[in-house]
Structure 1
Amino acid sequence: MNFDYSDKTKELITRLDTFMQEHIYPVEQAYIEKIHSNSQQENTRWRTPEMMENLKQKARDAGLWNLFLPHEYLPHGAGLTNLEYAPLCELMGRVMWSAEVFNCSAPDTGNMEVLAKYGSEAHKKQWLEPLLRGEIRSAFAMTEPAVASSDATNIETSITKDGDHYVINGRKWYTSGAMNESCKIMVVMGKNDPTAARHQQQSQILVPMNTPGVSVVRAMAAMGHYDEPVGHAEVLFDNVKVPAANLLVGEGEGFAIAQGRLGPGRIHHCMRLIGCAQRALDLACKRVESRIAFGQPLSKQQSIRERIAQMHCDIEQARLLTLKAADSMDRYGNKVSRDIIAAIKIVAPKMACNVIDQAIQMHGAGGTSQDFILAATYAYARTIRLADGPDEVHMMQLGRNLIKDFNSCQE
């Protein structure tokens, strides 16, 4: 593997970093304060601040738009490989909300990839094109409160054929993106045939947010954070009726679609978490040099130096594994790369949790406050240990695959 970024990637890193320095970091706190202000009023709580639209236009003008889309989706995106996108996604991860500026935020990225790969021409025109232009947002409804959703085959939401329509009944929660005012469409995973083979029982279907029978029950907090203005919703589907044409691919294809969607989504989270952790380390280095305790800067304490060194080592290890996974996906595809994708999904969130926790400790009480981004980034990192499959599932599957592969080689 070549550890040097290509000239194309280096040029994009420079452009993106310059954009962050000029347009994102200077308004970071103002944006957070605006969100907080909006959250005090129910009618504005889930409304994206106007300044986001101004930043998005600047990103479009700068040619920093839809950077996540690979070559097959040109001319809509930058045509980057996973390896080329990795350092850019990491840069965006340094500011929690900045990915939306470049139309590279979850769950929209995964939903756009699903629509581009599995959607009909009608789906693409109605939903994908507005998403690509950043005019609307979307949600992904998979997790359910009544079952262990770490096993996706447990999902109970029903998708029943009724003539030229499907009727959907069930309850979802942590439906990412569904609280936002701009969210217009959900990708919903449910069960259409409980008698089919275990991984052919599920389907995915498009459900507009304004469909009769769709009720947003409440916003769900993650580690005390409601993630305004995007949010995570508990959603009730009560005899929700949509055209049969809204089904993606066909009945029984839901699990396969989910696996195709989650590969890139998982590694994108890991890329962003590298950025979160690196920002935490940078803030810690600044903090320990400026705070005086017991007559000298914290940076003079041996224990602080050791922790800073370990944080750096942990980030570098996770960064290298992320890049190796991205390179493998580019070369061999997501299916062949499943083990290394699982490995980085295990490693990166744990690493980010540990690094950010150390940075919080070095900031003292301030590290837990709204004056720094650390508490919010810790909540994000801890949540990702569950999102897109909990640690235990990835470890179970990775261990199973490694044992199987080793023993098959001995035969």
Structure 2
Amino acid sequence: MHFDYSPKVQQLRERLLAFFDQHIYPNERRFHEEVEANRRAGNAWVPTRLIEELKPLAREAGLWNLFLPRSARAPEGLSNLEYAPLCEIMGRVAWAPEVFNCSAPDTGNMETLERYGSEAQKVRWLEPLLHGEIRSAFLMTEPDVASSDATNIECSIVREGEEYLINGRKWWSSGAGDPRCKLFIVMGKTDPTAGRHEQQSMILVPADAPGVRVIRPLSVFGYDDAPHGHMEIELKNVRVPASNILLGEGRGFEIAQGRLGPGRIHHCMRSIGAAERALALMCQRAIARHAFGKTIAQQTVTQERIAEARCSIEQARLLTLKAAYMMDTVGNKVAKAEIAMIKIVAPNMALKVIDWAIQVHGGMGVSDDTPLAYMWALQRTLRLADGPDEVHRNMLAKLELSAHMKLPADSVQPPITRGA
């Protein structure tokens, strides 16, 4: 495995870093001020002018749709290994990925449409998503069942002639708060009597279809993540054409496996970027502040944490690159153990580093005067999103045990939960 940046990636990386210095970091406060202004005006769910101003600049810089490999519709797309250092940089500021059309859940939904959609579905939905004209949401998790086991899903998708009738309730539907959200990819059951992993299907539902009702936004440690949002949604007697099914009935679990692998590693790439940002803020604060007669940077406890943070970040980065390399070379299914490992490691690592950075900042660290508190809330959520730690650990343990019991590792199914 060779993890050196190719000349192409090195050039993109330098261009992206310059874009951050010029357009992202100087506008961090403006983004939040704009959202707050919209909230005070009575509607926080309004796209920010800032991001809409920056999108054309990102496209002009050739920093658009970098996440999607092997797509004729997005020839600028990179391999997972190539994308990793760029996605990491995007993760340094929570709202930045949208500027480059590389934000969840749109990235996962676009990959789903590219890999599993019909030509008609791609023309209607994928192309406007790739152009940044609309946004989308992924409706998988449900409030009434333990969705860490996707076979528990109760949302029903019933064929009636040339239509499907959909009934269910979903939540943590990230992106559904945005008024530009025009498409829901919904997972539900088409045949409760089929085999455990053949009951589920995925179907495309227009966000404005009759019977769709957004019940409420959900907050994460007090943050509503407007204008993106995580919504609870009711689907009551929603009818869509039968042609809106993805791949066919009973293929939902298969599609989810393909969708969530890239989504998980993208989250991990961004987690490493968040940790890098936190470490930089920690060092800057430690150098600038004095306590008990010397700078905080001179305190041995701070030095130990800085050193440990650097080790942890580098370890997580190497595991992410290994997983990305395997996804590119042997496929997501073979790389399922590495994907699960980094999904456990990266958010926990980022939480530790961010927590130490908060500690160095003192009271300021838990306020909104720095991005640290919000970064911590987002990373804590990732220990649940796309599969809780416990499910990934259980799957990894079964893979290890199967090797010693001479059981086929393919019999162990990776966990499936909501996609962010």
Category of TM-score, reference length = shorter chain: over 0.9
> CA–CA distance in 2 between the matches of 1:230 and 1:116?
23
Shift of 1:407: 3.3
> CA–CA distance in 2 between the matches of 1:281 and 1:320?
18
1:74 counterpart = 2:63: no
1:349 counterpart = 2:347: yes
One-letter identity of the residue aligned with 2:63: L
State how 1:238-387 maps to structure 2 within 5 Å: 238-387=236-385
Deviations 1:111-130 (A, max 9, x none): 00011111111111111110
Partner-residue secondary structure (3-state), 1:382: helix
> CA–CA distance in 1 between the matches of 2:39 and 2:367?
17
> CA–CA distance in 1 between the matches of 2:177 and 2:140?
15
Cross-structure match for 2:412: none
1:167 counterpart = 2:134: no
Partner-residue secondary structure (3-state), 1:185: strand
> CA–CA distance in 1 between the matches of 2:73 and 2:196?
38
Shift of 1:232: 0.3
Cross-structure match for 1:8: 8
Partner-residue secondary structure (3-state), 2:406: helix
1:25 counterpart = 2:25: yes
Conserved in 2, the CA contact under 8 Å of 1:65 and 1:77? no
Q: Unaligned 5+ residue runs, structure 1?
A: none
One-letter identity of the residue aligned with 2:180: S
Cross-structure match for 2:418: none
Shift of 1:77: 4.1
> CA–CA distance in 1 between the matches of 2:167 and 2:287?
57
What percent identity do the matched residue pairs reach?
59
Conserved in 1, the CA contact under 8 Å of 2:73 and 2:127? no
Shift of 1:63: 0.8
Larger relative CO (CA 8 A, sep 6+): 1 or 2?
Answer: 2
Shift of 1:79: 3.1
Q: Unaligned 5+ residue runs, structure 2?
A: 409-420
Cross-structure match for 2:109: 111
Partner-residue secondary structure (3-state), 2:222: coil
> CA–CA distance in 2 between the matches of 1:109 and 1:387?
15
> CA–CA distance in 2 between the matches of 1:14 and 1:81?
18
Give the number of aligned pairs: 408
Shift of 1:75: 4.7
Cross-structure match for 2:208: 210
Cross-structure match for 1:60: 59
> CA–CA distance in 1 between the matches of 2:198 and 2:321?
33
Conserved in 2, the CA contact under 8 Å of 1:68 and 1:77? no
1:235 counterpart = 2:238: no
Shift of 1:291: 1.1
1:49 counterpart = 2:48: yes
Deviations 1:156-193 (A, max 9, x none): 00001111100111100000100111101100000111
1:192 counterpart = 2:186: no
Shift of 1:42: 3.2
1:133 counterpart = 2:99: no
> CA–CA distance in 1 between the matches of 2:117 and 2:393?
32
Cross-structure match for 1:35: 35
Partner-residue secondary structure (3-state), 1:169: strand
Cross-structure match for 1:84: 82
Deviations 1:206-240 (A, max 9, x none): 11111011000000111221111100000001111
Shift of 1:343: 0.5
- The CA RMSD measured in Å over matched residues stands at 1.2
> CA–CA distance in 2 between the matches of 1:349 and 1:229?
24
Shift of 1:39: 2.2
Partner-residue secondary structure (3-state), 2:204: strand
Which aligned segments of 4 or more residues in structure 1 are displaced greater than 6 angstroms? none
Partner-residue secondary structure (3-state), 1:74: coil
Conserved in 1, the CA contact under 8 Å of 2:191 and 2:250? yes
Conserved in 2, the CA contact under 8 Å of 1:13 and 1:88? yes
Further displaced range: 9-18 or 148-157: 9-18
Deviations 1:324-375 (A, max 9, x none): 1101111100000000111000100111111111111111111111111111
One-letter identity of the residue aligned with 1:64: L
TM-score, structure 1 length as denominator?
A: 0.97
Shift of 1:152: 0.4
